Amino acid sequence: MNELTVIRKHEKLQNIILYFFIYSFIGWCLETIYAFLVLGHFVNRGFLIGPICPIYGFGAVLLILLLKNCKGKPVSEFIIAAFAFTVFEYIVSYVLEAIFGLRWWDYSEDFMNLQGRVSLAYTIIWGTLGILLMEGIHPFITKLLDKVKRHIKPKYQDIIVVAFVVVLVVDVILSSIKYLSLEKLL
């Protein structure tokens, strides 16, 4: 493998990590705004203490990787995004409940739901968001990220990415302790 190939792979990995954090933050903002509109007050709508919802970050990265060859094909984007994110949402719901004994969402009241973990309405939303992500949001985020990265030296980019990951790991540990301790109290 030549040096240029290594550099490109490094940049791709770095971008994937940054996309995870960007979309996790955007997801947290969406969830927080939604909760504020419904409940009338601020609620941290995530598993973590910090302002990110990793399910959105992982979901966006998953969709970016799955849909990269479907650009301009909205029907394919919709079907793949709807299916992939619904399966992903079901698995995450199951795992979080198995580990922590808590549910972060419950669609039991929704039409055509599966154990309250996923529902037809959200499957349609995920498919639609997949199209919006690939046709509008992600190209915009990619251009913005490229523009920002041009003003930051590569070694500092690496430091920023590592710092984000370290903060995330600490947040996951502290949040897990919080929820596991809460489970013991209940």
Per-residue pLDDT tens digits of the chain, which is 186 residues long? 688 788 889 899 999 999 999 999 999 999 999 889 988 888 887 789 999 999 999 999 999 999 999 988 999 999 999 999 999 999 999 999 998 888 889 999 999 999 999 999 999 999 999 999 999 999 999 999 999 999 999 999 999 999 999 999 999 999 998 888 765 555
Could you tell me the residue range of the domain that residue 34 belongs to?
3-185
Q: What is the pLDDT of residues 150-177, one digit of tens each?
A: 999 999 999 999 999 999 999 999 999 8
What's the pTM value of the predicted model, to 2 decimals? 0.90
Share of the chain above pLDDT 90, in %: 77
Domain count, the chain: 1
Q: What is the pLDDT of residues 36-51, one digit of tens each?
A: 998 888 888 778 999 9
Three state DSSP letters for the chain: CCHHHHHHHHHHHHHHHHHHHHHHHHHHHHHHHHHHHHHCCCCCCCCCCCCCCHHHHHHHHHHHHHHCCCCCCHHHHHHHHHHHHHHHHHHHHHHHHHHHCCCCCCCCCCCCEECCCEEHHHHHHHHHHHHHHHHHHHHHHHHHHHHHHCCCCHHHHHHHHHHHHHHHHHHHHHHHHHHHHHHHHC
